[in-house]
C-alpha cells in the first residue's frame, strides 16, 4: 500500500442511538449509547480520501477507565496534532505515533480505524483482505454469537434467550454477577439443551475468594468464563484456572500483545477475547490474534455494542483463522432499531457475512446519521 498520505482534517461527531432494550452488566445498565464517530480527511497528490472510525468508549468509565467525553477530549487536545504533524500518515504508523500518550486505547483505535478506512478505500481493498496479508481468505461468513444482559427475573431472561435461539444465534453469552449466576446458567442450559454453545461474562465482578462458588458453574459445560476477577489480577485468574474446569477467558485484562503474552505464559488466559478498541486498534488486535494462533490459544472477537461501522470491521477481523470461537458479533437489530449504515448487519442462517467492499465495509445512511447527530467539531491540520 502506498503511504504518502497526510492527515489534513478530522470531524468529531457525537451521535445518540437508543438501544432496543436496556443492556445490564455487572457494572451498570444503559438504554442508549452516546457514540463518538470520527471522519478523517487524508490528502494524497491533491486528492482527498475520506475515512470513518468509531470510538467504542462507552457513556461512563465503568467497563474501563475510558468514556466517550474523555475520548473526544484526548483526541482533540493530544492525539490529533501528533498525527496531523506527521509528514506521512499510514494506519500502520498510528500506534507508534501515539505511543507517547499513555492509555486511551479506544480513542487511539478510532483514529487508526478512520485512517485505515480511508487508505483501504483509496486502494480499493476490503479490511478482511488487508488483515489476512498474504494469507488466503478462508471464510466468507462467521458464526454469530449474542451477549445477553442481566434481567430483573429469570422469566424475562429465558424469554430473551429463546428469542435469540429462534433468531439462529450459534452461541449465547450470559452476563453474570454475584446473585445472578448459577441459577440463570442452570435454567438457560436447560432451555437451550446440551449442544448450543453457552458462556458467561462477569466483567470483573468476583474476587479471589469466590473460587468454590464459581466451581459450581463447571457442571453446565460452559465454553468459558470471561473476566471473573479485576483486570489487574492476573495471578488470581491463574489460580482460578487451576481451581475450576471451566476455561478462563480474559477480556478487560488484555490491553496489548504484551499483556496477552504474559497472561498466556503464566496460565491466566486459557482463551482470549480480542477487542480492537481495548487494545488500541485493529492492527494490535491482529498481532494478538497471531500470538493466540501460534500458541494454540482459542480466540474470539468481542463487541462493544458497535454501530454498523465497528460491526463491519469486527466481522472482517473475525474472519481471520485464529478466531476459532464464535464472537460477540450479532445482527445490528440486537441493539439498534435503526443502524446508521445503509445495509445493517443481519443474520444469515446464524452467520454474519464478512464485508467485501473497499474500506471497513459499510456505507453510511446520511439521513439516519444526521438525525442521530448531537454535535460536530472540526479540526484542521495547522499547516493547511
Contact 343, 364 (CB under 8 A): no
Q: Does the annotation mark 102 as catalytic?
A: no
- Under rule CB under 5 A, residue 251 binds Mg ion: yes
Cβ of residue 142: shortest distance to Mg ion, in angstroms? 18
Q: Which residue's beta carbon is nearest to the bound ligand SMG?
A: 303
Cβ of residue 232: shortest distance to Mg ion, in angstroms? 16
Residue 303 interacts with which of ligand SMG, Mg ion, none, CB < 5 to 8 Å by class: ligand SMG
- Under rule CB under 6 A, residue 63 binds ligand SMG: yes
Q: Does the annotation mark 275 as catalytic?
A: yes
Catalytic residue among 102, 108, 173, 275: 275
Q: Which of residues 29-58 bind ligand SMG (CB under 6 A)?
A: 58
Applying CB under 6 A, among 147, 199, 204, 381 the residue interacting with ligand SMG is: 147
Element (H, E) at 29: strand 28-44
> 227: Cβ–Cβ under 8 A, 6 or more apart, which residues?
201, 202, 203, 204, 249, 250, 251, 252, 253, 273
Residue 289, all three cell numbers = 490474534
DSSP string, 256-294: SHHHHHHHHHHTS-SEEEE-HHHHTSHHHHHHHHHHHHH
Residue 266, all three cell numbers = 503464566
Distance CA 46, CA 42 (A): 10
- Under rule CB under 5 A, residue 233 binds Mg ion: no
- Under rule CB under 6 A, residue 66 binds ligand SMG: no
> 203: Cβ–Cβ under 8 A, 6 or more apart, which residues?
25, 26, 27, 63, 175, 177, 226, 227, 251, 252
Applying CB under 6 A, among 203, 204, 259, 319 the residue interacting with ligand SMG is: 203
Applying CB under 6 A, among 303, 308, 326, 355 the residue interacting with ligand SMG is: 303
# residues near Mg ion by CB under 5 A:
3
For ligand SMG, which stretch binds (CB under 6 A), given 34-42, 240-248, 255-263, 300-308? 300-308
- Under rule CB under 5 A, residue 201 binds Mg ion: yes
- Residue 3 or 28: the one with the smaller Cβ distance to ligand SMG is 28
Element (H, E) at 53: strand 47-55
Longest dimension (CA), the chain: 64
Cβ of residue 358: shortest distance to Mg ion, in angstroms? 31
Binding interface with ligand SMG (CB under 6 A) = 58, 63, 147, 201, 203, 251, 302-305, 328, 330
Catalytic positions: 175, 275
Binding interface with Mg ion (CB under 5 A) = 201, 226, 251
Amino acid at each position: 500500500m502506498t503511504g504518502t498520505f497526510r492527515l489534513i482534517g478530522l470531524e468529531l461527531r457525537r451521535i445518540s442511538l437508543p438501544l432496543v432494550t436496556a443492556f445490564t452488566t455487572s457494572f451498570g445498565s444503559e438504554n442508549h449509547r452516546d457514540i463518538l464517530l470520527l471522519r478523517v480527511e487524508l490528502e494524497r497528490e491533491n486528492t482527498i480520501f475520506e475515512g470513518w472510525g468509531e470510538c467504542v468508549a462507552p457513556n461512563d468509565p465503568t467497563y474501563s477507565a475510558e468514556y466517550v467525553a474523555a475520548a473526544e477530549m484526548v483526541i482533540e487536545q493530544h492525539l490529533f496534532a501528533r498525527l496531523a504533524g506527521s509528514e506521512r500518515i499510514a494506519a500502520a504508523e498510528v500506534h507508534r505515533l501515539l505511543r507517547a500518550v499513555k492509555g486511551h486505547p479506544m480513542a487511539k483505535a478510532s483514529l487508526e480505524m478512520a485512517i485505515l478506512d480511508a487508505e483501504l478505500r483509496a486502494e480499493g481493498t476490503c479490511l478482511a483482505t488487508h488483515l489476512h496479508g498474504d494469507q488466503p481468505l478462508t471464510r466468507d461468513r462467521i458464526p454469530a454469537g449474542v451477549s445477553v444482559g442481566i434481567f430483573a427475573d429469570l422469566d424475562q431472561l429465558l424469554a430473551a434467550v429463546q428469542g435469540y435461539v429462534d433468531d439462529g444465534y450459534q452461541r449465547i453469552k450470559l452476563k453474570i454477577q454475584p446473585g445472578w449466576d448459577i441459577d440463570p446458567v442452570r435454567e438457560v442450559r436447560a432451555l437451550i439443551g446440551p449442544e448450543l454453545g453457552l458462556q458467561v461474562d462477569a466483567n470483573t465482578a468476583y474476587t479471589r475468594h469466590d473460587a468454590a462458588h464459581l466451581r459450581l458453574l463447571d457442571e453446565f459445560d460452559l465454553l468459558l468464563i470471561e473476566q471473573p476477577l479485576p483486570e489487574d489480577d492476573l495471578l488470581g485468574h491463574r489460580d482460578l484456572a487451576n481451581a475450576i474446569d471451566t476455561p478462563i477467558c480474559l477480556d478487560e485484562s488484555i490491553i496489548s500483545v504484551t499483556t496477552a503474552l504474559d497472561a498466556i505464559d503464566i496460565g491466566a488466559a486459557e482463551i482470549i477475547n480480542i477487542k480492537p478498541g481495548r487494545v488500541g486498534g485493529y492492527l494490535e488486535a491482529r498481532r494478538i490474534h497471531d500470538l493466540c494462533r501460534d500458541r494454540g490459544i482459542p480466540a474470539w472477537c468481542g463487541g462493544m455494542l458497535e454501530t454498523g461501522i465497528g460491526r463491519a470491521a469486527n466481522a472482517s477481523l473475525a474472519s481471520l483463522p485464529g478466531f476459532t470461537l464464535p464472537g460477540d458479533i450479532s445482527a445490528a437489530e440486537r441493539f439498534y432499531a435503526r443502524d446508521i449504515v445503509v445495509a445493517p448487519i443481519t443474520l444469515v442462517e446464524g452467520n454474519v457475512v464478512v464485508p467485501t467492499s473497499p474500506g471497513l465495509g459499510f456505507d453510511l445512511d446520511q439521513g439516519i446519521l444526521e438525525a442521530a447527530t448531537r454535535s460536530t467539531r472540526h479540526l484542521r491540520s495547522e499547516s493547511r
